[in-house]
Chain A
Amino acid sequence: MKKLSSGLLALVVLFSLCVAAASVHAQEVGASTVEFPYTGNRTAVWVVAQLHILFAAFILGAPIFVVISEWLGYRKQDPRYDRLAKEITKVTVILFSMTAVTGGLFIFVLLAAYPQFTTSFVNQFYMVFAVLYPALFIAETILMYAYLYTWDVWKGEKKGRHIALGVLLNLVCLLILFVINGPTSFMNTPPKAEGVSPQDFIAAATLWDKIANQSWFPLSLHRIDGNVAFGGFIAGMIAAYMYMGAKTQEEKAYYDWMGFAAIWIAVGGSLLQPFTGLLLAYEMCDYDFSFCPYMMADQLSMFFEMQGMMIGLLFLAINYYSWLSVKRIEGAENVRMTILAPIVLVVLLPVTMWVMNSYWIPDPMSLAFLLPLTLSPFLLGRFIPQTVSARTVIKIGFIVMLVSDAVWLTPGGFVATGTDMPDELKLPEGWDYLASMPAKLSAILTLVFVTVVNYVLYNRTIKQGTILWGKIDFVSQFVLIFLAFVSTWTMGLMGAVRSLLKKYFHTYSLVSDLSAESFTPTLSYSAWWITAITVFFIAIVSVAALVALRPSVSKVREPEGSPVPVGVK
């Protein structure tokens, strides 16, 4: 209950800060701002906001992950899923306090750095910040603690009731996500109408108009699947730590399994990420086309080059983990797959590039080519007698992934901005299709397809062989840590990109950022801060995991002996 009260206290502090900000600064229009030492105001806000988003992403994503796991345990009658769900909930509860603390700190830093903007922004969304968000946060806190503390009470026949409570918790989490994404997306794409000035339109707009802006729904979708993936990768890292510290073979087997389960739930979210991300980018470009060149060809182009590298590494690592998992399955060498699988793997990238250049998705013609091609190994495979070993398919998949990465990483030119690119740095004609959007989409689609094929193959191997839990190559634990690092770093990078898209505005085209810091920082500068944020976040999560899970693996305490009177010895 101490945790509950400290969480509520943090919330009260946050709420009072909001209200105080709205009332005090409304009277002091010309209030002077604070200058944060070393970082400057913009970076200070960015660092705290990004930290808050990472903690929030985990506490909103983990319950989805947890309830899926609990439900799987209930359905399969496998207690490991239940234990996994409970352990992650324990960590989530600790990180819940960190979310509230960083949230309060965020408001505080924002108020100190940009008092006038913060005041007007809070006033725009007063109902959200003063009523809806705190109410939902309190509801989430109560449900989260109820969910944890009823775990051992509502079991057996009452398990369904507990899962229902988990679902309710998730509904509240989703509501929070949708509600808070309103103001966040508003800053990028405030609603507008033709023939009316943005200021006049906003002055007349309702709260719903402001929340349901153009990037609100795609951002929420992107964050939902992102949070599931993120929750999974972080759970994978926790499993790796616990595996490394496990003393018994039984514990090793359990944490080996936990890493495996966490990663496959994360992969489910990751496979959707590129598509919801593209939807978000599409809506942003549709709102204002100048976002598009700014992202892809101008100041942020090398940020996307870095993103390509990180996503490429993420997919390579996921599939490498899958390979290591297959290696410890007895009988894996006998598993075979239709020859159509490697054929489709090889031809998918060039065919998709050709199709996307001719018919843009969702043109029915593009789907008419791509759907039968990608489904053919699964639908027609059984009618073709020629087969290939599972290992060969996976190795071909790796070559295809490397080629796709190369396509994804090929820009129009290796320059910081494409606006005044010298000819000698440009891709020559005939090669420039590699830098086109259809090529990038084809590369993503191919990476996703290879991962799906590996997943199918892995499932087939499990059915035909015997998994030796706890016997996985020790390197796999470093892969799990790597995945958590890369996904956190990429989230930090893309968070910076989304925020930088506002250019020199606090709210795009509506409220200018008049400070001297309202410019795009270099990628190198951003990378230092993103790395610092990632390291800090992962260090906190690691400590939380050790605090929450250590008792369950610690030695059973020796029973204390009966008190011995002083002086007897």
Chain B
Amino acid sequence: MFKKLAIGLVVGGVLAGFAHSQEVPFDFQKLFFIIALIGAIVFMLLDARPVGTMSGGKSAFAVTAFWVLLVTVCIAGASLLPQFDPADERAKIDKLLGKERAASQKGKAEELIARAKALDEQVKALEERLKGLGGGQAATASQAPSVGDKPSSTAGASGGGGGDFMKVGEEQWQLQECYNCHKLRGEGGKKRGPELDNIGSLLTVEEIQQKIADPKSFMAEGYEKEWQKGIMPNKFKDLMDPKEMQALAAWLGSFKNTSVNTPKPIKKN
């Protein structure tokens, strides 16, 4: 038993040491070491003496203890892995859904106003009928301000009015996560899409905008397979308004770094 554990420790140590010598990050060294240890445990289990049958009470206790162990290992295992900070995503989503949320709030407020107005109409009609009946008591009711007359507190979406146009473009690059496929300024990209540092020298702002709205309109040289498969999603015209798309295109059009080999776009349709 101890021999197997020792072998596991040695194999893990050698693996981690070799990975360290190759400048593999520490987390990977830990992974290789842990797998070697799991290997040792597996081989210890393979050759372990058989466990005899337990009585009902003992088995119930053993099963409960086993459950506690499983639950702990699962939660601890998942919690020890790096955690994505939802605050990053929330900030993005707030920007992406800001206008829609505002519109939804506005819609709800408008509906409330419409209902209040309808009620107001009913009150007025009732008042007229009461007046017709000769009563002057209803006059006070009409002096009360109706809900519909209240000033709306709905905050309108700013829409970036007056802001820096180029900043809106850069923001869209981040929000639409274009960096997942395209490399720019040496960041992002996994070779799924072309590097874009020189795109401004190859396409006009209008052409870039056309490419974003209709990914099939241009094909980057060397990306025939990706173009045919339609890797670039055809959804951005639905996710951005024309102004945002124009800003993104203008911002991308400002990249004219000729030292980067951005593939030549070929007009398709």
Identify 13 residue pairs between A and B in the complex whose beta-carbon atoms are under 8 Å apart, listed by A's number: A289-B181, A290-B180, A302-B81, A320-B45, A398-B42, A416-B85, A427-B28, A428-B23, A478-B63, A504-B97, A531-B74, A531-B75, A535-B71
Query: How far, in angstroms, from A414 to B19 measured CA to CA in the complex?
Result: 15
Residues of B within 8 A of A327 (CB): 50
Contact in complex: A475, B84 (CB < 8 Å):
no
Q: Would A406 and B32 count as touching, CB distance under 8 A?
A: yes
Q: Which of B153-161, B186-194, B258-266 contacts A (4 or more CB under 8 A)?
A: B186-194
Q: B139 interface residue, CB < 8 Å from A?
A: no
User: A30 contacts the other chain (Cβ, under 8 Å)?
Assistant: yes
B-side contacts of A302, CB under 8 Å: 81-84
A35 at the B interface (CB under 8 A)? no
A289–B83 touching, CB < 8 Å: no
Contact partners of B62 in chain A: CB under 8 A = 478
Contact A425 B35 (CB under 8 A): no
Those of A208-259 within 8 Å (CB) of chain B? 241, 244-245, 252
Q: Give how many B residues have a beta carbon under 8 Å from the other chain's beta carbons.
A: 71
Which residues 474-531 in A have Cβ within 8 Å of B in the complex? Answer: 474-475, 477-478, 481-482, 485, 489, 504, 509, 512, 514, 516, 518-524, 526-528, 530-531
In the complex, the answer to whether A520 meets B89 with C-beta atoms within 8 Å is: yes
Q: A298 within 8 Å of B by Cβ?
A: yes
Question: How many residues of chain A get a CB closer than 8 Å to chain B's CBs?
Answer: 76
Q: Does B257 touch A at the CB level, under 8 Å? A: no
B149 contacts chain A at the CB level, 8 A cutoff? no
Residues of B within 8 A of A419 (CB): 177, 179-180, 188
Count of inter-chain pairs, beta carbons less than 8 A: 184
Q: Which residues of B contact A241 (CB under 8 A)?
A: 63
Interface of B, helix, strand, loop or mixed by DSSP = helix
* 8 additional contacts (CB under 8 A) given A419-B177, A527-B74: A406-B31, A406-B35, A420-B188, A473-B51, A475-B50, A478-B62, A509-B235, A531-B75
**What does the 1/0 interface line of A279-309 toward B look like (CB < 8 Å)?**
0000000101110011001110010011001
Q: Smallest CB-CB separation from B93: which chain A residue? A: A504
Q: For chain A residues 417-432, which have a beta carbon within 8 Å of chain B?
A: 417, 419-420, 424-428, 430-431
Report A-chain residues with C-beta under 8 Å of the C-beta of B70.
Answer: 482, 485
Partner of A520, one of B42, B45, B86, B238: B86
A-chain residues with CB within 8 Å of residue B104 when the two chains form the complex: 514
Give Cα distance in the complex from A520 to B87, angstroms. Answer: 10
Q: B35-61 interface mask toward A, CB cutoff 8 Å, 1 = contact, 0 = none?
A: 100110011011010111110100110
Kindly state the separation between the CA atoms of A477 and B107 in the bound complex, as whole angstroms: 59
Q: Which of B93, B101, B188, B229 contacts A519 (CB 8 A)?
A: B93
Which A-B residue pairs are the 10 nearest by beta carbons?
A527-B78, A414-B27, A416-B84, A524-B79, A244-B59, A293-B180, A473-B50, A416-B82, A474-B51, A522-B83
